[in-house]
């Protein structure tokens, strides 16, 4: 659910075969299997969120401007193969310059994107919860929740996808491109 809607709205998150081949050098990377796609161990979600952790993530966070080539490199670094990118049939070629914005408040996360300098467009919204001082979850079944590790240093937020409950490789690709290509900076 989390990324199915996002994939449809964004029409992104993946690389067409020509672009993937051009940007990747055609090397075969080790490939995560479908389902729980990352090798990072899943964090048991038993800790209650703390007021300090929740309030430190509330606000508006904006990524740096990223290119399709940067998103493709992020995917390759995450062990997603060119073949897996090609299999999604989607393209980030229309995303020459993308900025992602996350707004969090009251247990809700709203994701926006701005492509090629255009105005922000809402891409996804749904529940999120701070599990502890380094783990958040977002979304709900049938394609979630998705578990992320985060690190907060001042006004700089980095997010890594840990476990994606969705059985679609396209969902993991989109999650990785959005959250791992660039850190986010708190803007309000």
Residue 149 in 3-state DSSP? strand
Q: Where do the structural domains in the chain lie, given as residue ranges? A: 2-26+48-186
- Other C-beta atoms closer than 10 Å to the C-beta of 8 total 10
Average pLDDT, rounded, for the chain = 75
Residue 12 has pLDDT above 60, yes or no: no
Q: How confident is the model at residue 95 (pLDDT cuts 50, 70, 90)?
A: low
The widest CA-to-CA distance across the chain, in whole angstroms, is 47
For 57-91, what is each residue's pLDDT tens digit? 999 999 999 998 899 899 899 998 878 887 876 55
pTM over cut 0.85: no
Q: State the average pLDDT over residues 31-40.
A: 39
Q: How confident is the model at residue 48 (pLDDT cuts 50, 70, 90)?
A: very low
> CA angle, 1 as apex, 122 and 115 as ends, to 5°?
30
What's the pLDDT at 53? 54
Select from 91, 81, 184, 178 the least CA-distant residue to 139. 178
16's CB contacts (< 8 A; 6+ apart) are: 86, 89, 90, 91, 93
Per DSSP, the chain holds a count of helices (H) and strands (E) of 6, 8
What's the pLDDT at 54? 57
Report the run of H or E that residue 75 belongs to, with start and end: helix 68-77
Q: How confident is the model at residue 137 (pLDDT cuts 50, 70, 90)?
A: very high
């Amino acid at each position: 659910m989390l990324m199915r809607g996002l994939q449809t709205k964004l029409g992104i998150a993946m690389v067409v075969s020509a672009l993937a081949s051009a940007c990747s050098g055609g090397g075969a990377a080790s490939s995560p299997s479908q389902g729980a796609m990352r090798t990072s161990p899943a964090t048991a979600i038993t800790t209650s969120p703390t007021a300090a952790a929740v309030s430190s993530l509330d606000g508006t966070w904006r990524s740096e401007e990223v290119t399709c080539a940067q998103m493709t490199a992020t995917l390759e670094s995450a062990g997603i193969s060119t073949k897996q990118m090609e299999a999604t049939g989607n393209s980030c070629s229309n995303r020459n310059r993308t900025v992602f914005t996350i707004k969090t408040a009251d247990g809700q996360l709203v994701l926006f994107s701005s492509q090629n300098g255009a105005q922000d467009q809402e891409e996804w919204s749904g529940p999120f919860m701070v599990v502890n001082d380094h783990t958040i979850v977002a979304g709900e079944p049938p394609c979630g929740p998705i578990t992320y590790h985060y690190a907060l240093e001042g006004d700089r937020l980095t997010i890594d996808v840990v476990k994606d409950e969705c059985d679609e490789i396209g969902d993991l690709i989109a999650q990785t491109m959005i959250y791992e290509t660039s850190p986010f900076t708190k803007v309000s």
